[in-house]
Every structure is written in C-alpha cells, then in structure tokens.
Structure 1
Amino acid sequence: MSTLRSFLLLPALLLLGSCAKDDEPVPAPVYLLDQRWVLTELEGQPPVAQPSSTVPDLLLNSVGSTNNGRAFCNQYGGKYTLRAGSPQLSFSTQASTYATCAGQDAENRYLTLLPMVARYVISHRRLSLYDAQHAEPLLVFKAE
C-alpha cells in the first residue's frame, strides 16, 4: 500500500509545483531593493551637479514594484519590472515634478535613459544599468 501511495503522491506534487505563475516577482538580491543608489556615471561620464541641482539617486521599493528618487532638479518616480530568473530589469516612463534648474538637460537625459534599461549587473556595491544594444552601461550607481 505504501508504494501505491508514493506512486499517486508524486504526480500530485508535480502538479502543485507547476502552478506557479510566470509573472511572479523575481527574488532580487537583498541589496538591490530598498537600497539608495547614487548616480556615479551617466553614459560613461560623471554626473555634473550644478549649484542649484543635486546628484540623482534611485530607490527600487520591494513593495509594489515602484521606484523613486531625486534627479538633478526634481523628484521622480515610476514602476519597474524584474524578470524571474534573469538579470532583466525595466522601468516605466518616469513622472517628475516640474522645477527647472541648471542641470535640466542632464535630468532630461537621465529620465529618458531609465525606460531604455533592459538589464542590470551588481558588482562591488555598484549597480550598472544597460540597454539591449550596448556593452557599456547607460547608468552606473553606487550603494549609499
């Protein structure tokens, strides 16, 4: 009887295990989410903060798949998506407040680049964000 139960139990366990949804959130490294990331490179160049601007930062919230931060002039935010089992990361178009400052051109570029991100790499407390075409990162951040 024990062999028969094992024989019947195995298919049931396999069926239950296959009920996971393909769109479940990917388990991200603990240090990716809920971590303040400060921009160190914008398309290979250090960000230049003007007297009336700040260096951008990024926070990926573990609850709700939202991101937010401060760009050169404004606060911004949107949504992000992590693909299960891969380093794929994407951002929605980012909404921001409407102040202007001397760093406006850099801010516009930064907010344009975020939705172009396709994947990420974390190494030595540095977060590098890449698009789908280039080997060089679009944006590089350090953990703060």
Structure 2
Amino acid sequence: MEPVPAPVYLLDQRWVLVEIEGQAPSQQPGSSATDLLLNAVGSNNTGQAACNRYGGSYLLNSGTSQLSFSTQFATYATCANQNLETHYFQLLPQVTRYAISNRRLALYDADHPQPILVFKAAE
C-alpha cells in the first residue's frame, strides 16, 4: 500500500478510533469516543481518549509511510472505560507506519501485518 501524501490527507484531520487490535472499542456510559489529530504545524498531536484529553509529538518521515509517536501525556480523570484508554496509550508509541484508504487511517507496529489501531475520518 502506498501512503497518501501526508500534508493533504493525514494532517489537520480529526480521526476517530474504530478498531483497537482488530476489535471495535467499547463505549461505556460517561466515556468519550477516542480521537486523534496530527497538527501540521509543530509536529504535535492532540486528542480525546475515553476519559482524558491527551497529546504528545509525532515524527513523520516525508515521502514515506513511516510515522511514530512519543509517549503521550494526559489529564487525570477516570471513567468506566479506563482500560481501553490505558491500552490505547500503550499502543500509540508502538506505531511505526501508517496507511490511508477509503477515509480510514490504519496504524501499524513493526511486528504485525494487521493494523493495531484504525481510525475513520471525522465528518
């Protein structure tokens, strides 16, 4: 899969999590949909996880599908979906590459042929 040019499709787009390791994320009462935004300026990312706002930095190798994330910082609220959020924060720094197809962003680690996180473009 060839990567779509990052400045046009990947950056400054709100992405909503639809799969985490092949499973749909469960929505618990009082929790939010997890999303991700890669800012074109500053190479930082922000988002809302199940319970908390979060952010960090990312590294995108221009002209390739290589993408990586720093460890993320987050606010400290708890909610019914804390396990999902913790798992998400463990997976994000493992990302090594991305692919975009049909308005879906798939994030892969170095060890698995299947994406570890899949997002859809927010409307």
- Same-fold call, TM > 0.5? yes
Q: Which has the higher contact order (CA 8 A, sep 6+)?
A: 2
1:106 and 2:84 correspond: yes
Query: Counterpart amino acid of 2:114?
Result: E
1:140 and 2:123 correspond: no
What is the DSSP-based 3-state SS (H/G/I as helix, E as strand, rest coil) of the residue aligned with 1:38? strand
Partner of 1:51: 29
In the aligned structure 1, how far is the partner of 2:63 from the partner of 2:48? 29
Q: CA deviation at 1:29?
A: 4.1
Q: Determine which structure has more spread, i.e. the larger CA radius of gyration.
A: 1
Flag as ranges the 4+ runs of structure 1 deviating above 2 A. none
Partner of 1:36: 14
In the aligned structure 1, how far is the partner of 2:108 from the partner of 2:119? 12
1:68 and 2:46 correspond: yes
Gaps of 5+ in 1: 1-26
Aligned identity (percent) is 66
In the aligned structure 2, how far is the partner of 1:79 from the partner of 1:142? 20
Whether the 8 Å contact between 2:56 and 2:72 is mirrored in structure 1 is: yes
1:39-84, Cα deviation, whole Å (9 max, x unpaired) = 0001100011100101100000000000000000000000000012
Gaps of 5+ in 2: none
RMSD value, Cα: 0.9
In the aligned structure 2, how far is the partner of 1:69 from the partner of 1:43? 19
In the aligned structure 2, how far is the partner of 1:97 from the partner of 1:77? 9
**Number of equivalences:** 118
